Structure 1
Amino acid sequence: MTLAFGHQLADAWLELHPEASAAELVEFLERQSLRARVAAAEVYVARERTSKEEAMFHLERESRSYGELMRNELSNGELSMPSS
């Protein structure tokens, strides 16, 4: 999930569940992230003809790299967060 998409998804979910706690929002976003990773693994398997385990390994590695990039950009002030 991209950062902007994650914010849009959270905003839409909170509109539908205005009384939800932060923990419930995090749980929802984690489920959506897992669904997205599974779908990406299936695409990876179909295109690259690898096992699902190997695809998940590659996706996890890419996810860690993306997370590191986001942390670096946030810590350097190079990434602006969407305003609410």
Structure 2
Amino acid sequence: MVETAMTHRVLDADDLGRALNDLLPWPLSVRITPRRAARAIADGIARRAARTIAPRSWAPYSMLRGAVNVVADRRLADDGRVRDLIRRLEER
């Protein structure tokens, strides 16, 4: 997540956004500054990198996401907080 006015409006200033944000585990809840995001993108372009990951704490998740997502999807599907959040979002 990049720390922007939109991030604050959606995830901090809104009840449902805060509920969604609270469900994000570390490192997915880590926010970076726009400057850091821009630097990561520019560095990736300069290196002609196939992928750019920022913050670096996301790198292990990125490498393991195929296996992690299977477990995470199951856990989220069984989580009553997620079902309640989806219901509340749909009611909007």
Please indicate the TM-score interval, normalised by the length of the shorter structure: under 0.3
Report 1 or 2 for greater relative contact order, CA contacts < 8 Å, sequence distance ≥ 6.
Answer: 2
Higher helix residue share:
1
Q: Calculate the TM-score normalised by the size of structure 1.
A: 0.27
TM-score by length of 2: 0.25
